[in-house]
Amino acid sequence: MLTNKIASILAVCITVILTGLLCRTVFVVGATQDEAQQQKLDEEIRTHGDIIQYNFIDSYANLTYKTLSLLSWGVTRCSEVQFLAKIDDDVLVNPFHLKVFVQDTLQHPPAPKVGRVGCLEGRKGLRGASLCRD
């Protein structure tokens, strides 16, 4: 895993490359039981205002909570944005390609897609759960 320092540097680099697109970088974290770590987080929040902290233990097992928290924050606090990217420390992003993709999409918005999520009848999902149509 990348250290927080490297992740911060990467976030700054991506933000600089995307400058002109009104890009804002924030970090979503869960709760920590380490008081010293929480004090560092509180200082970062006061200094930069770029951390969103939610009340769940920050762990790989709770990654779904982190993702849903980011989406919830995006809908309630940034409802006017056209793009929201979740980039984790184990994801490689080419910021130059990302910038081109965003610019092209803004200039030539795709037609809205209306569809239905479905599956093949009789198929089983993870842990044997039935997959079904919505």
Mean pLDDT of the chain: 74
Q: Which of 3-17, 31-45, 53-67, 72-86 has the lowest mean pLDDT?
A: 3-17
Q: Is the pLDDT of residue 2 over 50?
A: no
- Determine the Cα–Cα distance for residues 89 and 100; give it in Å rounded to an integer: 22
Range of the domain at 113: 4-128
In a domain, 32, yes or no: yes
Mean pLDDT of 53-74: 89
Q: Is residue 31 part of a domain?
A: yes
pLDDT for residue 68 is more than 80:
yes
Does some domain include residue 23?
A: yes
As a whole number of angstroms, the distance between CA 11 and CA 44 comes to 15
Q: In angstroms, what CA-CA distances link 96 with 78, 86, 87, 113?
A: 24, 17, 15, 27
- Is 12 inside any structural domain? yes
Does 134 map to a domain? no
Is residue 89 included in any domain, yes or no? Answer: yes
Q: Is residue 133 included in any domain, yes or no?
A: no
Residue 54 lies inside a defined structural domain of this protein: yes
Give the pTM. 0.62
Domain count, the chain: 1
List the single range of 27-31, 75-79, 125-129 with lowest mean pLDDT. Answer: 125-129
Measured CA distances, 26 to 20, 45, 49, 52, 85 (Å): 17, 10, 8, 7, 10
pLDDT tens-digit map of 112-126 = 766 554 444 444 444
* pLDDT over 50 at 39, yes or no: yes
- What count of other Cβ atoms lies within 10 Å of the Cβ of residue 19? 9
